[in-house]
Amino acid sequence: MSALEPGAVLDHYRMDEAVARSGMSVLYRATDLRDGKPVAIKIPHTEMEADSILLERFKREEEIGQMLDHPGIVKTYPEEQRSRRYMVLEWVEGRLLRSILNEARVLPVERAVRITLAICEALDTMHKHGIVHRDLKPENVMVDAQDRIKLIDFGIAMREDARRLTYVNMTGALGTPDYVSPEQVKGGRGDQRSDIYALGTMLYEMLTGRVPYTDENALAALNARLQRDPEPPRELNSAITPELQEVLFRALEREPRHRYATASEMAWELEHQELVGVEERNGRSAGNLQRRKIDRRWMMYGGVALVPVVLFVLMLLLARR
């Protein structure tokens, strides 16, 4: 069994408490009995260890964590001798960004931008190592009292040169629906611009209290980002400047080639918003959006009205034959 009771000892680690559970593993706050320091221990479920694909993902997550050395990325510690499979991680103090948003709903513009800049810096390091997170979301960002961040959970991260892994029942391989990029919805692997899309979604949420695409079900929300632009965030929060809105639009472009190519590019424009040129974007204003909805409605009605006419013409042509 993967679950351990508080107080249980695993090699030279004492399990203090289980702090998170997922479909793949259990995360514990533990104490290294050699020096008394707190660590996080991630133990895969027994059934995961029996699945070669899931086990490969676990190994990859550990390898990626050991490759990265940045204050904004949780550290993964190597461990030579273990009595079972588990992962040893840096214990991170702070709160999940999700908890902060659940409490505050909308963050002040300055704070939202500050947190986003910190994430950009960590992402830039990841991307320069050829690693894509692929599951950026508020649940995977820890924030401390000084708004310093740590990216956590590389469960579906990948090296851009690595072979693709698939798992039929693992919806997490796609990412979390609210933050997944259009190219991933279409079945693409995603690259660093997919992470930028997810970060744009997070910034949108921090500034407006909602994600860009909401619907009654996840599939409809996924499809929406392939069909239409998000609601202009300035219409939801007047404190957002036209320049900051432009940064959001650029991060949330449907086509990856139109997005920021790197996290550092996005960071530069966030830091120099006065130099961001605001593009004329057709249909972005509320009035234009409403007119587009009306136009689409009339086109639909017109199409329905034409169906009997088309059928009549076809029947007439067949009768003449």
Concatenated DSSP letters of 203-259: HHHHHHSS-S---SSHHHHHHHHHHSPPPPGGGT-TTS-HHHHHHHHHHT-SSGGGS
Q: Among 32-41, 73-82, 138-147, name the one with the lowest average pLDDT.
A: 73-82
What pLDDT, on the 0 to 100 scale, is given for residue 7?
94
23 or 67: which leads in pLDDT:
67
Q: Which three-class secondary structure state does DSSP give residue 142?
A: strand
User: In the chain, pLDDT over 70 holds for what percent of residues?
Assistant: 82
What pLDDT, on the 0 to 100 scale, is given for residue 2?
53
Is 147 among the residues known to form the active site?
no
- Alpha helix (H) residue ranges in the chain: 46-49, 52-67, 97-104, 109-128, 182-185, 192-208, 218-227, 242-251, 263-271, 286-320
In sequence order, the β-bridge partners of residue 159 are 131
What pLDDT, on the 0 to 100 scale, is given for residue 176?
74
pLDDT over threshold 80, residue 314? no
User: Considering the chain, what is the average pLDDT of its residues?
Assistant: 84
Tell me which fold the domain 9-90 belongs to.
Phosphorylase Kinase; domain 1 (3.30.200)
> Mean per-residue pLDDT for 265-272?
98
pLDDT over threshold 70, residue 91? yes
Instruction: Write down the catalytic residue from 11, 32, 69, 135.
Output: 135
Round to whole Å and give the CA distance between 146 and 84.
Answer: 37
Q: Which two tokens stand for residue 215?
A: 């619907």
81 or 131: which leads in pLDDT:
131
pLDDT over threshold 50, residue 288? no
> Mean per-residue pLDDT for 14-33?
92
- What pTM value is reported for the model? 0.81
Confidence of residue 222 (pLDDT cuts 50, 70, 90): confident
Round to whole Å and give the CA distance between 186 and 211.
Answer: 20
- Fold agreement (9-90, 95-275): no
**Which whole-number Å values give the CA distances from 224 to 70, 134, 144, 318, in the listed order?**
35, 20, 34, 40
What pLDDT, on the 0 to 100 scale, is given for residue 169?
38
What pLDDT, on the 0 to 100 scale, is given for residue 141?
97
Please state which of the four CATH numbers 1.10.510.10, 2.40.30.70, 3.40.50.10490, 3.10.129.10 is assigned to the domain occupying 95-275: 1.10.510.10
pLDDT over threshold 60, residue 168? no
pLDDT over threshold 50, residue 271? yes
- Nearest Cα to Cα of residue 113 among 233, 275, 284, 247: 247
Round to whole Å and give the CA distance between 105 and 97.
Answer: 11
Q: Amino acid identity, residue 128? A: K
What pLDDT, on the 0 to 100 scale, is given for residue 294?
39
Location of structure tokens 């996924």? 222
Report pLDDT digits (tens) over 37-55: 999 999 998 887 778 888 8
Confidence of residue 57 (pLDDT cuts 50, 70, 90): confident
Strands 141-143 and 87-90 come out as unpaired
Q: Exposed, middle or buried, 84 (CB in 10 Å: 0-12/13-18/19+)?
A: exposed
Confidence of residue 287 (pLDDT cuts 50, 70, 90): very low
> Mean per-residue pLDDT for 193-215?
95
Q: Which two tokens stand for residue 315?
A: 């029947």
23 or 32: which leads in pLDDT:
32
Domain ranges of the chain: 9-90, 95-275
Q: Phi and psi dihedrals of 33, rounded to 5? A: -70, -10
Location of structure tokens 């609210």? 178
What pLDDT, on the 0 to 100 scale, is given for residue 289?
37
Which residues, other chains included, contact 27 with Cβ-Cβ below 8 Å and sequence gap of 6+? 18, 19, 20, 21, 40, 41, 42
Torsion of CA 284, 286, 290, 296, to 10 degrees: 10
